[in-house]
């Protein structure tokens, strides 16, 4: 986090936002703190309660919520297990289907195996092997499709009509959002003075759940979404106050394969409009630099999509000042060769002035 803030930033941020939401965007229909607490009870024993760990060498302090430590390497297990465990017995017997760029697939496979439910996942045919291999090994059936949201949805609907599976969507679903919201509950319990939570955004389920939990438990804290600037549909949607879609050919350019969804979900959008303070972007170089620094300084593996919130906090650009910021490291599933190439890519640009001092 940068230590100095330009006057324009102070003017822009003003007083912290409260829970009421924006005029014209009623908060009714949003996932409630009770739903998130119920999800936390279902998840008990199935997921890792991740710690909050300091990012060594960064001043003022930055805390990381390392969801890469989940058994599937990402936060997605929370939403997947929350949704499957809430299904009635008959639906569990028929089985579940999901479409995903990789991490949700792996989480569905893992959660379904834990709960004894048959699982099928529709996966874009360019998804990294680091994400597909474990999904296969967990016993899920994999159905490849073109790498667009439309193709994923069409293939999934076909499977549902043929086999009666229950769809577990990757982000736009109450039980999924409630499961992801358990991260916010944990942050509030682990750091009650948290004043900023930076969260990666793709379809918007992660930030929706976290924002719902943080607003209810730490209403003065700001929740900021972070996207690659090459896939900034959520930033545009937030600014224009209507859902904007980017072409798949544009979002595919980012190294953050987990964040290439072309449009945030409708339910997620309601949460973002009502509960989120801003959506900011980071560059491809900042993402790679954050991956390197997270490995070298914090000894944690961040995949590109998992590193964007850390990247935003390390640059400090566009974020409001904060005393107790938390960055969600949302996943660590990166192909070893791709990770090695990022690590080997040489020295990073110097930090902003005052942002960091040697240990």
Ligand X SMILES: Cc1ncc(COP(=O)(O)O)c(C=O)c1O
3-state secondary structure 233-284: HHHHHHHHCCCCCCCHHHHCCCCCHHHCCCCCCHHHHHHHHHHCCEEEEECH
Per rule CB under 6 A, is residue 331 in the interface with ligand X? yes
Interaction mask 57-96, ligand X, x per CB under 6 A:
-----------------x-x--------------------
Which one among 179, 203, 316, 320 touches ligand X, defined by CB under 6 A?
203
State yes or no: residue 254 binds ligand X (CB under 6 A).
no
**Closer to ligand X at the Cβ: 159 or 206?**
206
String of b and e for 294-305 (b: at least 16 CB within 10 Å)? bbeebebbbbbb
Q: Which of 330, 334, 339, 355 binds ligand X (CB under 6 A)?
A: 330
**310 secondary structure, DSSP code:** H
Q: Which is nearer to ligand X, 176 or 355 (CB)?
A: 176
Site for ligand X contains 334 (CB under 6 A): no
In sequence order, the β-bridge partners of residue 199 are: 225
Say if CB 184 and CB 52 are below 8 A apart: no
- Cβ of 352: how many Cβ atoms within 10 Å? 15
Residue 306 as a binder of ligand X (CB under 6 A): the answer is: yes
Residue closer to ligand X by CB (options 2, 279) is: 279
Nearer to ligand X, 221 or 226 (CB): 226
Nearest approach, Cβ of residue 231 and ligand X (Å): 11
Edge-to-edge order in the sheet of strand 63-66: 53-54, 63-66, 325-329, 196-200, 222-228, 278-282
Rounded Cα distance between 120 and 140, Å, is 5
Q: Which two tokens stand for residue 275?
A: 């509960």
Would you say 183 or 322 has its CB closer to ligand X?
183
For ligand X, the closer of residues 208 and 315 by Cβ is 208
Cβ proximity to ligand X, 21 vs 102, nearer residue:
102
CB 322 within 8 A of CB 222: yes
**Least Å from the CB of residue 161 to ligand X:** 25
206 binds ligand X (CB under 6 A): yes
Out of 305, 316, 320, 325, point to the residue binding ligand X (CB under 6 A): 305
| CA–CA separation, 186 and 166 (whole Å) | 29
Q: Does 107 bind ligand X (CB under 6 A)?
A: no
Q: Which of 131, 40, 35 is nearest to 78 (CA)?
A: 40
Q: Count of residues for the chain?
A: 359
Rule CB under 6 A: say whether 202 interacts with ligand X: yes
The reply on whether position 205 binds ligand X by CB under 6 A is: yes
* 206: exposed, middle or buried (Cβ count in 10 Å: 0-12, 13-18, 19+): buried
Residue 124 lies near ligand X (rule: CB under 6 A): no
Q: Which residues contact 296 (CB under 8 A, 6 or more apart)?
A: none
Q: In the complex with ligand X, which residue's Cβ is closer, 66 or 331? A: 331
Q: How many residues bind ligand X (CB under 6 A)?
A: 21
* Footprint (CB under 6 A) of ligand X, residues 162-201: 170-171, 200-201
What's the closest the beta carbon of residue 306 comes to ligand X, in angstroms?
Answer: 4
Contacts with ligand X by CB under 6 A lie at 74, 76, 101, 103-104, 170-171, 200-206, 258-259, 303, 305-306, 330-331
């Amino acid at each position: 986090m940068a230590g100095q803030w330009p006057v324009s930033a102070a003017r822009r941020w003003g007083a912290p936002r409260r829970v009421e939401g924006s005029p014209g965007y009623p908060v009714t229909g949003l996932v409630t703190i009770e739903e998130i607490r119920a999800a936390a009870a279902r998840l008990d024993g199935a997921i890792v309660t991740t710690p909050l760990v300091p990012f060594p060498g960064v001043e003022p302090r930055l805390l990381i919520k390392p969801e890469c430590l989940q058994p599937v390497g990402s936060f997605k297990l929370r939403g997947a297990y929350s949704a499957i465990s809430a299904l009635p017995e008959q639906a569990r017997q028929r089985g579940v289907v999901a479409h995903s760029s990789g991490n949700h697939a792996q989480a569905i496979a893992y959660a379904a195996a834990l709960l004894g439910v048959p699982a099928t996942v529709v996966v874009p045919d360019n998804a990294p092997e680091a994400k597909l291999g474990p999904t296969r090994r967990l016993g899920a059936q994999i159905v490849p499709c073109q790498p667009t949201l439309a193709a994923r949805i069409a293939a999934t609907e076909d499977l549902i009509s043929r086999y009666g599976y229950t769809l577990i969507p990757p982000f736009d679903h109450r039980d999924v959002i409630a499961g992801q919201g358990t991260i916010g509950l944990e942050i509030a319990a682990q750091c009650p003075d948290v004043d900023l939570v930076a969260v990666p955004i793709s379809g918007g389920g992660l930030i929706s759940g976290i924002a719902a939990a943080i607003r209810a438990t730490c209403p003065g804290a700001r929740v900021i979404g972070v996207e690659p600037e090459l896939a900034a549909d959520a930033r545009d949607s937030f600014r224009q106050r209507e859902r904007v879609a980017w072409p798949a050919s544009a979002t595919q350019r980012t190294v953050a394969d987990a964040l290439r969804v072309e449009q945030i979900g409708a339910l997620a959008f309601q949460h973002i409009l009502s509960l989120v303070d801003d959506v900011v972007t980071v560059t491809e170089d900042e993402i790679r630099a954050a991956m390197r620094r997270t490995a070298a300084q914090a000894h944690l593996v961040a995949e590109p999509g998992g590193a964007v919130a850390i990247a935003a906090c390390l640059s400090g650009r566009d974020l409001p000042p904060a005393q107790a910021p938390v960055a969600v490291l949302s996943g660590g599933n990166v192909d070893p060769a791709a990770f090695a190439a990022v690590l080997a890519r040489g020295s990073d640009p110097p930090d902003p002035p005052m942002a960091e001092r040697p240990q």
